[in-house]
Structure 1
Amino acid sequence: MIRAVLFDFDGVVAKTLESHARSWQHVLSRYGIQVDPRDIALNEGQPAIEILRAILAKNGLQLPEEELQELVRQKREHYQQTTEARAYDGVGDLLQRLKAAGYKTALVTGSIRSNMAAAVGEELLSRFDVVLTSEDVPRGKPHPDPFLEGARRLGVKPEECLVIENAPMGIRAAKAAGMRCVAILSTLGPEDLSGADYLVESISQIDPSAPYFR
């Protein structure tokens, strides 16, 4: 029986892909790189430095670790100053319905809290029982560690958790953790999210009375 719902952030709770892509483009233009938002979506869920490494590898470029860290810092600064990200319609209503039905909730993300706060504000973040970021676990998605730690902090077993994701890395992490997974088609197509147990078009379609909650 499902007792807790674990949400990813980017592409699930908030529409952030365009803002992330714009900020990565801002810091990588000097290298002649054209950032493809799909590459970000496919690697979403990992810490920013891993997304950067994936973009650079695709473009045949290797940089020293210090330079990678500086690029991540510059990207984070640009994102927080310029983001036009916002919460998806229906997020607040879903959280309210889950609370009323007795479900525990967690936000489990490869992002950092300051990025999330810049996008949706602290008030929305405070409505989750647990907020777990890339700063809280040594290994991020696609490893199961973030979701397992989320379950531990909520006081539930992995098999009692429903994960809401939108990216392959997150789906792999959820399944490796032994959790049921619903994927939202917000940034990628069904062919990219085939590892999920269920697919829905948007977060507003997540229904506590649906079969995946039983």
Structure 2
Amino acid sequence: MLSAILWDNDGVLVDTEHYYFEANRIYLRRHGIELTEEQFCRWYLCESRGAWHLLDANASRAQIDHWRNERNVIHLQLLEEAGSLLTPGIEALLADLHGRVAMGIVTSATQESFTSIHRRHDLLRHFSFALTAETYKRSKPAPDPYLLGVERIGKPADECLVVEDSPRGLAAARAAGLRCIILRHPLMRDHDFAGATRVVDSVDELREAIETLLGEHA
């Protein structure tokens, strides 16, 4: 049975992962370091540790926070300058699911970047809540964000589904005991996402997968 869906934001609802990559690439380039897509995928989307060790392997937490804040300024500027950020087809899918299942957003984005992304459209009307990075202590791949999501959505864990795009998101969902469909982003085209309930490459395939789950035990 499927009664609730917890959605990741970046790379799923909105096509923003490349802006995050570009923000990190621009920032590190200012320090004479060239960040590759392969490094970004491994350090950010898989291991969730960033590339700050390239600047100083012994940097303090305060120094890393300073670098991160400077990077975030670049990221926000790129988002503000971007056109439509919605993943093609996602708005129609959410409209079709609205009222049929409970839905919430569980993201590692800060509230500031989340607000910047979503101020231009009405996508959030489909969701009961949105949990941003400030909401929990440990971010993905820890289970905390999705455990809180299950608590907030008020449905049994075995009736919930997560939609993610990254290995760290999949790890967080699995650690929370949840099923997870991966909407594979082009940056992660070579990752196999072992342990996912299903891996899809388009919103049309995602719709089909969700409808199949909704049809079970109907």
- Identify the TM-score tier after normalising by the shorter chain: 0.7 to 0.9
- Aligned residues of 1:166 and 1:185 also touching (Cα < 8 A): yes
Instruction: Note the 1:1-214 alignment, pairs <5 A.
Output: 1-42=1-42, 44=44, 51=48, 53-57=49-53, 61-83=57-79, 84=82, 86-100=85-99, 102-121=100-119, 123-186=122-185, 187-189=187-189, 191-207=191-207, 208-211=210-213, 214=216
TM-score by length of 1: 0.86
For 1:199, what is the secondary structure of its paired residue? strand
For 1:209, what is the secondary structure of its paired residue? helix
- Aligned residues of 2:52 and 2:64 also touching (Cα < 8 A): no
**Paired letter, 1:143:** A
State how far apart, in whole Å, the 2-side matches of 1:99 and 1:212 are: 13
Q: Which moved more, 1:117-126 or 1:12-21?
A: 117-126
Deviation at 1:58, TM superposition (A): 6.2
Deviation at 1:24, TM superposition (A): 1.1
Deviation at 1:151, TM superposition (A): 1.0
| Shift in CA distance, 125/113, structure 1 to aligned 2, threshold 3 Å | farther
**Paired letter, 1:170:** G
| Shift in CA distance, 71/13, structure 1 to aligned 2, threshold 3 Å | same
Deviation at 1:99, TM superposition (A): 1.2
Deviation at 1:206, TM superposition (A): 1.8
Q: Which runs of 5+ in 2 are unaligned?
A: none
Q: Deviations over 1:152-208 (max 9, x none)?
A: 111112111111111111111111111111011113135341221101112332224
Q: Deviations over 1:57-100 (max 9, x none)?
A: 36773322222111111111111122227110111111111114
| Shift in CA distance, 213/184, structure 1 to aligned 2, threshold 3 Å | farther
- Aligned residues of 1:45 and 1:111 also touching (Cα < 8 A): no
**Paired letter, 2:200:** V
| Shift in CA distance, 191/82, structure 1 to aligned 2, threshold 3 Å | closer
Count of residue correspondences: 209
State how far apart, in whole Å, the 2-side matches of 1:64 and 1:105 are: 38
| Shift in CA distance, 38/4, structure 1 to aligned 2, threshold 3 Å | farther
TM-score by length of 2: 0.85
